[in-house]
Amino acid sequence: MACPVCGRPLPRSARFCPNCGAAIGPLLGTEERKMVTVLFADLVDSTGLAQRLDPERAREILGSFFDAAAEELNALRGRTEKFIGDAVMAVFGLPTVHEDDALRAVRAGLAIRGRARRLTQSAGLAEPLQVRIGIESGEAATGLGPAGQLLVTGQVVNVAARLQAAAIPGQILAGTTTHALTTTKVSYGRRKTVKAKGFDTALEAFPVEGLTPRSARRTIPFVGRSSEQAILGQSLGLASTTGKPVLVTVVGEPGIGKSRLAEELAAGMSAAVPILRGESRAYADTATFSPVAAIVGDLAGINQDDPPETVGRRLRELVGVACDPAEVDRIVERLALLFGLSEGRREESAFVHDVQAGFIALIDGLARDHPVLLLFEDAHMLKPAMLDLIERLGSRGRRGPRRALVLAARSVTSRRPRSPGVQAETRSSSSRRQACSCRRATAVLGRTGRFFLRLCRQWSARGWMRCRQDFASWPGSRLCSFIRSTYRPSRRLMKR
Q: Where are the domains of the chain?
A: 1-25, 31-211, 217-425, 430-495
> Of all helices (H) and strands (E), which one includes residue 193?
strand 192-194
Report how far residue 79's alpha carbon sits from residue 234's, in angstroms, rounded to the nearest whole number.
45
Q: What is the pLDDT of residue 274?
A: 83
- The CATH fold assigned to 217-425 is Rossmann fold (3.40.50)
- In angstroms, the first-to-last Cα distance of the chain is 46
Q: What is the pLDDT of residue 432?
A: 47
Q: What is the pLDDT of residue 53?
A: 81
* Partners of 140 in the β-ladder: 34
* Partners of 43 in the β-ladder: 131
Report how far residue 216's alpha carbon sits from residue 274's, in angstroms, rounded to the nearest whole number.
21
Q: What is the pLDDT of residue 494?
A: 42
Instruction: Establish whether the linkage from the previous residue to 95 is cis, with ω within 30° of 0.
Output: yes
Return all residues near 399 (Cβ < 8 A) that are at least 6 apart.
Answer: 364, 365, 367, 368
Q: Which one, of 393, 316, 313, lies nearest residue 361 by Cα?
A: 393
Q: What is the pLDDT of residue 329?
A: 92
Return all residues near 437 (Cβ < 8 A) that are at least 6 apart.
Answer: 453, 456
Report how far residue 248's alpha carbon sits from residue 448's, in angstroms, rounded to the nearest whole number.
37
Q: What is the pLDDT of residue 450?
A: 53
Q: What is the pLDDT of residue 452?
A: 56
Q: Which CATH number fits domain 31-211: 3.40.50.720, 3.30.70.1230, 3.90.1150.10, 3.30.1540.10?
A: 3.30.70.1230
Distance of CA 126 to the CA centre of its chain: 33
Q: Which one, of 5, 30, 31, lies nearest residue 19 by Cα?
A: 5
Q: What is the pLDDT of residue 217?
A: 52
Those residues of the chain that have pLDDT short of 50 are 27-28, 218, 284, 422-424, 426-434, 444, 461-466, 488-496
Report how far residue 2's alpha carbon sits from residue 71's, in angstroms, rounded to the nearest whole number.
17
Report how far residue 192's alpha carbon sits from residue 203's, in angstroms, rounded to the nearest whole number.
8
Matching fold, domains 31-211 and 217-425: no
Q: What is the pLDDT of residue 441?
A: 53
Q: What is the pLDDT of residue 399?
A: 56
* Partners of 91 in the β-ladder: 38, 79
